[in-house]
Amino acid sequence: MDVAGQFAELYGYEPDGVWSAPGRVNLIGEYTDFNEGFVMPLALPHTAVAAVARRTDGVLRLHSADIDAPVAELRVDELTPLSKYGQGGWAAYPAGVLWALRDAGHEVSGGADIHLASTVPTGAGLSSSAALEVVTALSLNDLYELGLDAPRLAVIAQRAENAFVGVPCGVMDQMASACATEGHALHLDCRDLTTRQVPFDLAAQGLRLLVVDTRVKHELGDGAYAERRAGCEEGARVLGVSHLRDVLYAELPAALAKLTDEKIRRYVRHIVSDDHRVEQVIGLLDAGDVRAIGPVLTEGHASLRDDLRISCEELDLVVASANAAGALGARMTGGGFGGSAIVLVEEVDAEPVTKSILEAFTAAGHTAPRVFPAVPSAGARRLA
Ligand code: ADP
Ligand code: MG
């Protein structure tokens, strides 16, 4: 049964509409978003789909087909950040969006009934959480006729995750889910949220981008994000810039010479060089030389592994085994310490490279990863 049918069965009446928002993978530019730098995500064909109806009585009802939990029933005027729905409960994501909209002065106080189902793998670094937030934001925007554009909805969604759920994340995931278009990667300037759709037609080039979900999540990740963030801020302070985005690549050696702390120096080198790699990738894609981005991806992985130090054994194994088997390039993607990697391959090599990765995981005694193609897909939209 489709999501609208499930809504009708659950709530006993028809929804006002159906919306979808995708998960994403980031092609290049990691941890650069909170440094006001550049990122380049693309939307996955995997989406969160929500059937939604507007209410008038200030009640918010939430249900997910993917979670074994009854309908959560909340009062709009009682939503508080980091309350019981802000401590790990899935309902905090959509509830947080409604809270963030109200907090920004938008009229959504009538509430809503929401039922959703998602094909975005959760906790795999593919932003199932952003998909949930963005699909909620877009549906409420339409039903309440708020007139917010996609970037503004993304910022609302990010605020929900930061302030209501309590997860410190940059704005990339929500921007990707809200603004991506089919057949493109999204070049995003995280300083002013300007975007450019960069053609990324893999099939026409006989190429494939594989996502390899390692299905591991190492505990280390939680504190490490905040620590890297603080380190980057410290680097910017020492260098006398507001954000590391302001350090030009050509000035990197001079900047590094000014940093006495070895760790801060590594963090700065990663951020400034990854911003540069985003520009390199754009130049290559604009020139139609998609194959040539492979080595840039692999260099990006080395930087995340050796300078930012957010990789792990499993992610390193994906990259090493894929490249040894003839991939054009590979890197971890997302927050690190587990989650997913991406691998660029010739279409004809997709199968043997996948096989090599799986064999390497078996030989190392790791759980078999999940491998699927990342087809650059559409951003959030109304389906019905
Ligand atoms: P990621 O965004 O990388 O997938 P997160 O930890 O940020 O991982 O978000 C995962 C959380 O989002 C889940 O633990 C759950 O609370 C919520 N979530 C994601 N998809 C769904 C879904 N289909 N139904 C209910 N909750 C979901
Ligand atoms: Mg997330």
Q: What is the ipTM of this complex?
A: 0.99
Mean pLDDT of 61-88: 85
Mean pLDDT of 219-246: 93
Assess whether pLDDT exceeds 50 at residue 351: yes
What pLDDT, on a 0 to 100 scale, did the predictor assign at position 223? 87
State yes or no: is 173 an active-site residue.
Answer: yes
Assess whether pLDDT exceeds 80 at residue 82: no
Q: Tokens standing for 336?
A: 């690190």
* Nearest ligand to the C-alpha atom of residue 21: 1
Residue pair 362/380 in contact by the 8 Å Cβ criterion: no
Longest dimension (CA), the chain: 66
Cα–Cα distance between 244 and 35 in angstroms, integer? 5
What pLDDT, on a 0 to 100 scale, did the predictor assign at position 1? 83
Q: What is the pLDDT of residues 135-178, one digit of tens each?
A: 999 999 999 999 999 999 999 999 999 999 988 889 999 999 99
369 lines ligand 1 (CB under 6 A): no
CA of 298 to the centre of ligand 1 (A): 28
The reply to whether the predicted model has a pTM over 0.90 is yes
CB under 5 Å of ion ligand 2: residues = 129
90 lines ligand 1 (CB under 6 A): yes
Residue pair 164/101 in contact by the 8 Å Cβ criterion: no
Assess whether pLDDT exceeds 70 at residue 87: no
Counting Cα atoms < 13 Å in the Cβ hemisphere of 111 gives 17
* Nearest ligand to the C-alpha atom of residue 22: 1
Mean pLDDT of 108-128: 96
Cα–Cα distance between 329 and 344 in angstroms, integer? 5
What pLDDT, on a 0 to 100 scale, did the predictor assign at position 168? 86
- In this structure, the number of other CB atoms found within 10 A of the CB of residue 253 comes to 9
What pLDDT, on a 0 to 100 scale, did the predictor assign at position 352? 98
User: Which one has a higher pLDDT value, 178 or 84?
Assistant: 178
Q: What is the pLDDT of residues 285-332, one digit of tens each?
A: 999 999 999 999 999 999 999 999 999 999 999 999 999 999 999 999
Name the average pLDDT for the chain.
96
What pLDDT, on a 0 to 100 scale, did the predictor assign at position 134? 98
What pLDDT, on a 0 to 100 scale, did the predictor assign at position 89? 86
6 lines ligand 1 (CB under 6 A): no
Mean pLDDT of 38-62: 98
Q: pLDDT-based confidence at 343, cuts 50/70/90?
A: very high
Q: What is the pLDDT of residues 170-215, one digit of tens each?
A: 999 999 999 999 999 999 999 999 999 999 999 999 999 999 999 9
Assess whether pLDDT exceeds 60 at residue 84: no
162 lines ligand 1 (CB under 6 A): no
What pLDDT, on a 0 to 100 scale, did the predictor assign at position 83? 67
Q: pLDDT-based confidence at 219, cuts 50/70/90?
A: confident
Mean pLDDT of 331-350: 97
Assess whether pLDDT exceeds 70 at residue 102: yes
What pLDDT, on a 0 to 100 scale, did the predictor assign at position 167? 87
CA of 334 to the centre of ligand 1 (A): 15
Q: What is the pLDDT of residues 5-38, one digit of tens each?
A: 999 999 999 999 999 999 999 999 999 999 999 9
Which string of b and e fits 98-136 if b means at least 16 CB within 10 Å?
A: bbbbebeebebeebbbbbbbbbbbeebbbbbbbbbbbbb
Assess whether pLDDT exceeds 60 at residue 85: no
